[in-house]
Structure 1
Amino acid sequence: MHILVLGATGYLGGHVVEHLRTLPGARVLVAGRSAAADVTVDLAADRPQDLAAALAEAAPDAVVNCAGATGGDAVTLAEVNARGPAVLCAALRATAPGARLVHLGSAAEYGPTGPGERVTESAATRPAGPYGATKLAGTVAVTASGLDAVVLRVGNPVGAGAPSTGLPGRVARLLAEAGSDPEAELRLGDLSAHRDFVDVRDVARAARLAVTAAGPLPPVLNIGGGRARPVRDLVRTLADTAGFRGRIVESEAGGSTRTAQVSWQCSDITAARDALDWSPVHTLDASVAALWAAARPGSRTAEGVPAR
């Protein structure tokens, strides 16, 4: 089985590749802009016919699209998160219409929900900003493509290699810089929001199951922890794990716009359990421990060696 992974050098993509390589008889090919990639592609810029030619040469039985932008201006987000999946679907229709496409979406596509609510895949999508809106556009491109495709709508992933563009990775970096200084202050925005945290290894396992699942899958599946936790809990657990002795200072002025607009996020993961026989197995404590083990000073990841 030939499996092509786009965005393999990113946070989620690296873990997905690692899990896919455990499949017996699988040959995992990496696609991206790097010269070291097995297949050179750029979803943000390639013309559909050029991407189709690259896919024809790879002849994949399945494609996992982990490519995505979480930061940057609206144009960058649109090029990667909206245009990218649309071009990929067009290329697959032309060259490998029978290949299974697994696309990583985001729970940010849902937007604001009521406190205590677990959103199902049929819930209204009202993204609160450009990131969620462009991820939703990518989801629509995939679900309307006519391909054998599924979108895994991922919650807030936590684990080794988390980038500093997201809160878990940023806090880990700040803790590494602070060390054991008892006078250190960790200045963050409002941490009162609730988020559905999911271990990145559980996300990768869901992608692997989606690749190999028999028959057509539902167009969208929520992949989350299935429980909303205060962001403050994540930060406090990470600080305790790091042995942080200073103070954590919250400031509403420093909070993100999305935190103010989306104070509660929790996904109903029943459909993923039914379709993939999947449920998360790692606790938040285990996710935080893996994150800190990779981010702490002296770790191989902190020194530039990718986590595996």
Structure 2
Amino acid sequence: MRILVLGATGYLGGHVAERLRALPEATLLYGGRSPGADLPVDLATARPGPLAEALAALAPDAVVNCAGAVGGDAVALAEVNARGPAVLCAALRQAAPGARLVHLGSAAEYGPGRPGTRVGEDAPTRPAAPYGATKLAGTVAVTASGLDAVVLRVGNPVGPGAPVAGLPGSVARALRDAGPGPDAVLRVGDLSPYRDFVDVRDLARAAALAATRPGPLPAVLNISAGRAVEVRELVRGLVRASGFAGRVEETAGGSTRSAAVGWQCSDVSAARAALGWAPLHTLADSVAALWASVAGAPVPAR
């Protein structure tokens, strides 16, 4: 089975590619801007015609699109998160209409949740910021494409290698650099929101299952832990893992991507039914693996 992974040099795409490489039945192909890619392409600027020609030459059985942007202005976000999937779908319809497309969406597409409730895939989508809005546009492009496609709506990913662009990765690196002394200070934003964290390794497993599962799949599947925890719990876990002895100062500011979202929690029962998938890692597992990756220690095997 020939599986093309787009965005394999990124955080999510790297873990997805690693998972797919372990499948004996899979031949992995890479797409992106990195040198030596099987499909050298930037979906933000690609044109459907030339992309279709390149895809036809590769003849993939499945494509996993992990390319996406989490930062930048609305135009930059739209180019990658909305235009990119639309161009990819147009090219696939010409070059490989029978290929399975797995696209990584985001729980940010739902917008603010109601405290104490889990959101199912049929819930209204009310993104609160350009990031969620552009991810939703990408999802619409995929689900309306007529392809054999599934969108995985991912919760808040955490785990080994988390980038500094997100809160888990930025806090882990700040703790590493703060030093062990009692006078050290960790300054963070508002930690009161509730988020549904998912281990990046569990996400990678879901993407591999979606790419290789025979038969039709639902158009959208939530991939998360199905449990909302206060962001403060994540930070406390990293503080414990690091041995940080200083103080944590919390300010009122937060992420511009999610400042208006106080609660986020997804119902993952559909993914269990369609893929036989369930999260295996606890938040404590994810925090331990993230800290190990930042501190240069072996990541716990699990």
- TM-score tier by shorter-chain length is over 0.9
Q: 1:176 is matched with which residue?
A: 176
Name the aligned partner's letter for residue 54 of structure 1. A
Seq. identity, %: 72
Q: 1:293 is matched with which residue?
A: 292
Q: 1:275 is matched with which residue?
A: 274
In 1, the alpha carbon distance for the partners of 2:196 and 2:205 equals 17
Maintained 8 Å contact 2:154/2:203 = yes
Maintained 8 Å contact 1:128/1:261 = yes
Aligned Cα RMSD in Å? Answer: 1.2
TM-score by length of 2: 0.97
Q: 1:224 is matched with which residue?
A: 224
Q: How does 1:148-297 map to 2 (within 5 A)?
A: 148-252=148-252, 254-296=253-295
Q: 1:133 is matched with which residue?
A: 133
Give structure 2 stretches of 5+ with no counterpart.
Answer: none
* Partner SS for 1:261: coil
How many equivalent residue pairs?
299
Residue-by-residue CA offset, 1:105-143 (whole Å, 9 max, x unaligned): 000000011101100000000000000000000000000
Give structure 1 stretches of 5+ with no counterpart.
Answer: 302-308
In 2, the alpha carbon distance for the partners of 1:52 and 1:183 equals 58
Bigger drift between 257-266 and 224-233 goes to 257-266
* Partner SS for 2:131: helix
Maintained 8 Å contact 1:159/1:291 = yes
- Quote how far apart the aligned CAs of 1:260 are: 3.7
Residue-by-residue CA offset, 1:258-304 (whole Å, 9 max, x unaligned): 544110000000000000000000010100111011111x4599xxx
Bigger drift between 53-62 and 101-110 goes to 53-62
Name the aligned partner's letter for residue 189 of structure 2. G
Q: 2:114 is matched with which residue?
A: 114
TM-score by length of 1: 0.95
Name the aligned partner's letter for residue 151 of structure 1. V
Q: 1:304 is matched with which residue?
A: none
Maintained 8 Å contact 2:130/2:257 = no
- Quote how far apart the aligned CAs of 1:21 are: 1.1
Maintained 8 Å contact 2:129/2:258 = no
Maintained 8 Å contact 1:105/1:151 = yes
Name the aligned partner's letter for residue 82 of structure 2. A
In 2, the alpha carbon distance for the partners of 1:257 and 1:85 equals 23
1:4 aligned onto 2:7? no
1:39 aligned onto 2:39? yes
Residue-by-residue CA offset, 1:3-28 (whole Å, 9 max, x unaligned): 00000000000000011112122100
- Quote how far apart the aligned CAs of 1:179 are: 2.3
Maintained 8 Å contact 1:193/1:259 = no
Q: 1:306 is matched with which residue?
A: none
Maintained 8 Å contact 1:41/1:54 = no
Name the aligned partner's letter for residue 274 of structure 2. A
* Partner SS for 1:151: strand
Q: 1:103 is matched with which residue?
A: 103
* Partner SS for 2:226: coil
In 2, the alpha carbon distance for the partners of 1:179 and 1:93 equals 53
Q: 2:146 is matched with which residue?
A: 146
- Quote how far apart the aligned CAs of 1:255 are: 2.0
- Quote how far apart the aligned CAs of 1:173 are: 1.0
In 2, the alpha carbon distance for the partners of 1:86 and 1:140 equals 9
In 2, the alpha carbon distance for the partners of 1:131 and 1:256 equals 11
- Quote how far apart the aligned CAs of 1:39 are: 1.6
Maintained 8 Å contact 2:194/2:230 = yes
Q: 1:305 is matched with which residue?
A: none
- Quote how far apart the aligned CAs of 1:193 are: 0.3
In 2, the alpha carbon distance for the partners of 1:172 and 1:235 equals 8
Go from structure 1 to structure 2 and tell me whether the alpha carbon gap of 1:259 and 1:191 turns closer, same or farther (over 3 Å shift): farther
* Partner SS for 1:142: helix
Bigger drift between 209-218 and 94-103 goes to 209-218
* Partner SS for 2:214: coil
Residue-by-residue CA offset, 1:222-241 (whole Å, 9 max, x unaligned): 00000000000000001110
